[in-house]
Chains A and B, each alone.
Chain A
Amino acid sequence: MKLTLWTYEGPPHVGAMRVATAMKGLHYVLHAPQGDTYADLLFTMIERRNHRPPVTYTTFQARDLGADTANLFKTACQAAYDRFQPEAMIVGASCTAELIQDDPGGMAEMMGLPCPVIALELPSYQRKENFGADETFFQITRALAKPIDKTAHVSCNLIGPTALGFRHRDDITELTGMLADMGIAVNVCAPYGASPSDIARLGAAHFNVLMYPETGESACRWMERELGLPFTKTVPIGVGATRDFICEVSVLGNVPQAMDEERLRLPWYSASVDSTYLTGKRVFIFGDGTHAAAAARIARDEMGFEVVGLGCYNREMARPLRALAKAYGLEALITDDYLEVEAAIEAAAPEMILGTQMERMIGKRLGIPCAVISAPVHVQDFPARYSPQMGIEGANVIFDTWVHPLVMGLEEHLLHMFRDDFEFHDAAGASHHGGQHVAKDATKDTAETPAPAEAPAKASDVLVWLADAERELKKIPFFVRGKARRNTEIFASQKGLNEIGIDTLYEAKAHYAR
Chain B
Amino acid sequence: MSFDTPPSTGCREAPVLRERGQHEVFCGLTGIIWLHRKMQDAFFLVVGSRTCAHLLQSAAGVMIFAEPRFGTAILEETDLAGLADAQVELEREVARLIARRPDIRQLFLVGSCPSEVIKLDLARAAERLSVQHAPHVRVLNYSGSGIETTFTQGEDACLASMVPSLPETDARQLMLVGALPDVVEDQARDLLAQMGITDVAILPARRADDPLSVGPNTVFALLQPFLGDTLAALERRGARHIPAPFPFGAEGTTGWLRAVADEFGVDDATFERVTAAPRDRATRAVAQAAESLRGKSIFFFPDSQLEIPLARFLTRECGMRAIEVGTPFLHKNILGPDLDLLEAGPQLTEGQDVERQLDRCRAAQPDLTVCGLGLANPLEAERLATKWAIELVFTPVHFYEQAGDLAGLFSRPMRRRAALKLGAAS
- Are A62 and B22 in contact, CB atoms less than 8 angstroms apart? no
Residue of B nearest to A42 (CB): B58
- Are B148 and A45 in contact, CB atoms less than 8 angstroms apart? no
Q: Across the interface, which residues of B come within 8 angstroms of A94, CB to CB?
A: 51
Q: Which of B50, B74, B377 contacts A1 (CB 8 A)?
A: B74
Q: Which of A11, A37, A123, A357 contacts B24 (CB 8 A)?
A: A37
Q: Which of B25, B71, B89 contacts A37 (CB 8 A)?
A: B25
Q: Across the interface, which residues of A come within 8 angstroms of B373, CB to CB?
A: 40-41, 44-45
Q: Across the interface, which residues of B come within 8 angstroms of A123, CB to CB?
A: 77
Q: Across the interface, which residues of A come within 8 angstroms of B45, CB to CB?
A: 3
- Are A33 and B66 in contact, CB atoms less than 8 angstroms apart? no
Q: Which of A52-60, A292-300, A309-317 contacts B (4 or more CB under 8 A)?
A: A52-60
Q: How far is the CA of A394 from the CA of B54 in the complex (A)?
A: 30
A165 shortest CB reach to chain B, Å: 16
Residue of A nearest to B80 (CB): A125
Interface residues of B: mostly helix, strand, loop or mixed? helix
Decide yes or no whether A324 CB sits under 8 A from chain B. Answer: no
Q: Across the interface, which residues of A come within 8 angstroms of B49, CB to CB?
A: 11, 95-96, 124-125
- Are A41 and B374 in contact, CB atoms less than 8 angstroms apart? yes
B299 shortest CB reach to chain A, Å: 17
- Are A96 and B97 in contact, CB atoms less than 8 angstroms apart? no
Q: How far is the CA of A365 from the CA of B65 in the complex (A)?
A: 10
B364 shortest CB reach to chain A, Å: 19
- Are A124 and B51 in contact, CB atoms less than 8 angstroms apart? yes
Tell me the chain A residues, 1-60 only, with Cβ under 8 Å from chain B.
Answer: 1-7, 9-11, 13-14, 33-42, 44-45, 48-52, 56-60
Q: Which of B73, B355, B377 contacts A44 (CB 8 A)?
A: B377
Q: How far is the CA of A10 from the CA of B54 in the complex (A)?
A: 6
Q: Across the interface, which residues of A come within 8 angstroms of B67, CB to CB?
A: 5, 339
- Are B22 and A2 in contact, CB atoms less than 8 angstroms apart? no
Q: How far is the CA of A100 from the CA of B66 in the complex (A)?
A: 36
- Chain B residues within 8 Å of chain A by Cβ, number: 64
Q: Which of B23, B355, B381 contacts A34 (CB 8 A)?
A: B23
Q: Across the interface, which residues of A come within 8 angstroms of B70, CB to CB?
A: 5
- Are B113 and A95 in contact, CB atoms less than 8 angstroms apart? yes
Q: How far is the CA of A64 from the CA of B49 in the complex (A)?
A: 21
Q: Which of A51, A56, A99, A123 counts the most B-chain CB atoms under 10 A from its CB?
A: A99
Decide yes or no whether B184 CB sits under 8 A from chain A. Answer: no
Q: How far is the CA of A3 from the CA of B68 in the complex (A)?
A: 12
Q: How far is the CA of A5 from the CA of B60 in the complex (A)?
A: 12
Residue of A nearest to B97 (CB): A3
- Are B74 and A2 in contact, CB atoms less than 8 angstroms apart? yes
Decide yes or no whether A65 CB sits under 8 A from chain B. Answer: yes
Decide yes or no whether A128 CB sits under 8 A from chain B. Answer: yes
For the complex of A and B, 6 pairs with smallest distance between CB atoms: A35-B27, A35-B146, A40-B374, A50-B381, A96-B113, A1-B89
Residues of A in contact with B (beta carbons under 8 Å apart): 1-7, 9-11, 13-14, 33-42, 44-45, 48-52, 56-62, 64-65, 76, 79, 83, 94-96, 99-100, 123-126, 128, 339, 357-358, 360-361, 365, 378
A96-B117, A125-B77, A357-B63 are known contacts; what are 14 more A-B pairs with Cβ within 8 Å? Answer: A4-B71, A5-B70, A6-B63, A13-B51, A14-B54, A34-B27, A36-B146, A37-B25, A51-B381, A65-B117, A95-B113, A95-B114, A125-B75, A128-B50
